[in-house]
């Protein structure tokens, strides 16, 4: 053992991690790394040696921990019967840590198709993760230390708290989602970034279509959001801008920005690392597949640096889930290759678009209500009410136990309704029951006084 290697081991830094850090030195990733992210690497252990053996072991391959019979992976007949068009290698074999190579390439093509402004040569090759939640968690591993700041609008997916505050001991800083004119509040986002970048870096979560509100920015708001982040980066702040694109593609109004904010951020500023976290979960209606993707974009990063950053991400994947579902990747890959894929998706997008219109119509009858006021919504699966003078937890409970209607109460003042899961013919009755139940609760409350 050389003195250099002994020094690295004694100080907790693996030589492979140091090599990756050298490649990434001076890049935006280098400025953003957490301590864990800096120590991450992809080991040249079983997985790496197995991958090498696939290429060169033409006689016998005694590397991977799988069982084979007649040169195919062993499988239970009752399992394979449910995958008649897939081979055993496509169903029960391990997937590579970064994901099926062909699927990764196809998904990158999809990113560019859906976001034509993106130059495919200027972003990383997407990595497969076990769902978008897992992708956000890996991103937090790479870039979040205890006490680091995560900027989010005050209407955000509650799981961010578990990921950032509980798992990583970071500090979530909220800003008001909407302006007084009921648009996305970029000025409040800017103030939150400028006031909470004492360590010279922040992570900003940009979730559109938004969960829980169902709102996506207009073209003008999207451009203003990008310009605002650029102004913050101009001041020397290193920004990890995470585009949580879980509900991407479900845009229902003409003026809505119909691309990922990643399109505007990936090459915007050398101090901004854009991270696109997306996947088939909601986009392709395969919630239980648990297949997501993570891609990076920055105008100053080279292909070699993207590869090094992906190896860091591979280390995070390897040390947690090892790899994502093989059959889910195989099924998705085959779907993406089908000529009917887009037509099939559009059919269901149209159904949700019509359902959205029915929600708007149902809400018209209650436009004078001051008890439940809907936030603006124009996309995705949800809409959300702001409640005045009523506990949304009480409303949720009464709706559930007396009407058999399930909704989500948030902070006891917001009520989220997933119209995506309610049939068209039931939309009017759903909203009538919600408003009428709220009115009954208000009247009973006044009578008790």
> 212: domain CATH number?
3.40.640.10
Residue with tokens 């949720």: 396
User: What is the rounded CA–CA span in Å between residue 133 and residue 290?
Assistant: 9
Number of domains in the chain: 2
Q: Both 364 and 304 in a single domain?
A: no
On whether residue 12 sits in a domain, the answer given is no
Determine contact, residues 114/135, Cβ cutoff 8 Å. no
Sign of the torsion angle spanned by Cα atoms 356, 417, 203, 17: negative
On whether residue 166 sits in a domain, the answer given is yes
pLDDT at 356 > cutoff 80: yes
Average pLDDT over residues 144-148: 96
Q: Both 328 and 421 in a single domain?
A: no
At 2 the pLDDT is 43
On whether residue 39 sits in a domain, the answer given is no
Q: Both 107 and 141 in a single domain?
A: yes
Average pLDDT over residues 239-244: 98
At 448 the pLDDT is 67
Sign of the torsion angle spanned by Cα atoms 198, 200, 203, 206: positive
At 43 the pLDDT is 84
Single out the residue of 124, 133, 99 nearest to residue 329, CA to CA: 99
pLDDT at 80 > cutoff 60: yes
On whether residue 41 sits in a domain, the answer given is no
Band of pLDDT at residue 9, cut at 50, 70 and 90: very low
Q: Both 332 and 279 in a single domain?
A: yes
What's the CATH code of the domain at 352?
Answer: 3.90.1150.10
pLDDT at 303 > cutoff 80: yes
Average pLDDT over residues 250-271: 97
Band of pLDDT at residue 1, cut at 50, 70 and 90: very low
Q: Both 323 and 362 in a single domain?
A: no
At 44 the pLDDT is 76
Question: What range defines the domain where residue 351 resides?
Answer: 341-448
At 401 the pLDDT is 93
pLDDT at 283 > cutoff 80: yes
pLDDT at 275 > cutoff 90: yes
Residue 83 DSSP one-character state: -
Provide φ and ψ at 283, rounded to 5°.
-55, -40
User: What is the rounded CA–CA span in Å between residue 376 and residue 182?
Assistant: 7
Decide which of 318, 337, 356 is a domain's last residue: 337
Average pLDDT over residues 361-375: 94
Q: Both 276 and 353 in a single domain?
A: no
On whether residue 9 sits in a domain, the answer given is no
At 5 the pLDDT is 40
Helix (H, G, I), strand (E, B) or coil at 4: helix
Residue 80 DSSP one-character state: H
Quote the percentage of the chain above a pLDDT of 70: 91
Average pLDDT over residues 277-305: 95
Band of pLDDT at residue 125, cut at 50, 70 and 90: very high
Q: Both 364 and 222 in a single domain?
A: no
Band of pLDDT at residue 124, cut at 50, 70 and 90: very high
Q: Both 205 and 107 in a single domain?
A: yes
Q: Both 387 and 252 in a single domain?
A: no
Which residues have C-beta within 8 Å of that of residue 421, sequence separation ≥ 6? Answer: 381
- Average pLDDT value over all residues in the chain: 91
On whether residue 168 sits in a domain, the answer given is yes
Decide which of 313, 337, 361 is a domain's last residue: 337
At 18 the pLDDT is 94
Q: Both 155 and 274 in a single domain?
A: yes
At 3 the pLDDT is 41
Q: Both 372 and 318 in a single domain?
A: no
User: What is the rounded CA–CA span in Å between residue 273 and residue 300?
Assistant: 10
Q: Both 296 and 346 in a single domain?
A: no
On whether residue 36 sits in a domain, the answer given is no
Residue with tokens 């990583």: 168
45-59, 170-184, 284-298, 327-341: the lowest-pLDDT one: 45-59
Decide which of 312, 337, 362 is a domain's last residue: 337
At 73 the pLDDT is 74
On whether residue 56 sits in a domain, the answer given is no
What does the radius of gyration of the chain's CA atoms come to, in whole angstroms? 24
Give the pair of three-digit tokens for residue 304.
Answer: 């070699």
pLDDT at 53 > cutoff 80: no
Determine contact, residues 410/387, Cβ cutoff 8 Å. no
Helix (H, G, I), strand (E, B) or coil at 323: coil
């Amino acid at each position: 053992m050389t003195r250099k290697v002994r020094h690295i081991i004694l100080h907790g830094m693996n030589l492979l991690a140091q090599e990756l850090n050298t490649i990434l030195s001076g890049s935006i990733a280098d400025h953003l790394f957490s301590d864990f992210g800096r120590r991450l690497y992809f080991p040249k252990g079983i997985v790496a040696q197995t991958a090498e053996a696939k290429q060169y072991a033409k006689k016998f391959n005694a590397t991977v921990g799988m069982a084979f019979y007649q040169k195919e992976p062993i499988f239970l007949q009752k399992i394979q019967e449910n995958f008649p068009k897939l081979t055993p290698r496509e169903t029960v074999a391990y997937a590579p840590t970064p994901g099926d190579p062909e699927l990764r390439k196809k998904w990158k093509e999809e990113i560019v198709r859906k976001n034509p402004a993106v130059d495919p040569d200027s972003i990383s090759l997407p990595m497969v993760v076990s769902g978008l939640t897992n992708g956000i968690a890996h991103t937090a591993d790479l870039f979040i230390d205890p006490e680091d700041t995560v900027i989010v609008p005050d209407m955000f997916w509650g799981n961010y708290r578990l990921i950032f505050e509980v798992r990583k001991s970071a500090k979530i800083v909220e800003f008001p989602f909407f302006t007084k004119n009921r648009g996305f509040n970029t000025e409040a986002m800017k103030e939150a970034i400028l006031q909470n970048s004492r360590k010279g870096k922040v992570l900003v979560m940009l979730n559109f279509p938004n969960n829980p509100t169902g709102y996506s920015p207009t073209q003008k708001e999207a451009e203003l959001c990008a310009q605002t982040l650029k102004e913050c980066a101009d001041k020397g702040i290193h920004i990890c801008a995470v585009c949580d694109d879980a509900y991407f593609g479900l845009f229902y109004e003409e003026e809505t920005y119909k691309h990922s904010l990643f399109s505007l951020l990936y090459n915007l500023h050398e101090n901004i690392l854009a991270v696109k976290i997306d996947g088939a979960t909601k986009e392709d209606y395969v919630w239980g597949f648990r297949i997501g993707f993570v891609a990076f974009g920055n105008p100053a990063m080279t292909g070699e640096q993207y590869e090094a950053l992906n190896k860091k991400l591979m280390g995070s994947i390897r040390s947690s889930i090892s790899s994502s579902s093989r059959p889910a990747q195989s099924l998705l890959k085959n779907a993406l290759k089908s000529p009917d894929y887009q037509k099939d998706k559009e059919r269901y997008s149209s159904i949700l678009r019509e359902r959205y219109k029915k929600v708007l119509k149902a809400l018209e009858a209650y436009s004078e209500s001051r008890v439940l006021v809907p936030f603006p919504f124009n996309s995705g699966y949800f809409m959300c009410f702001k409640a005045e003078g009523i506990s949304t937890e009480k409303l949720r409970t009464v709706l559930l136990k007396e009407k058999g209607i399930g909704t989500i109460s948030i902070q006891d003042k917001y009520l989220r309704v997933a119209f995506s899961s309610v049939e068209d013919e039931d939309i009017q009755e759903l909203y009538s029951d919600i408003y009428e139940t709220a009115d009954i609760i208000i009247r009973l409350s006044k009578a008790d006084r």
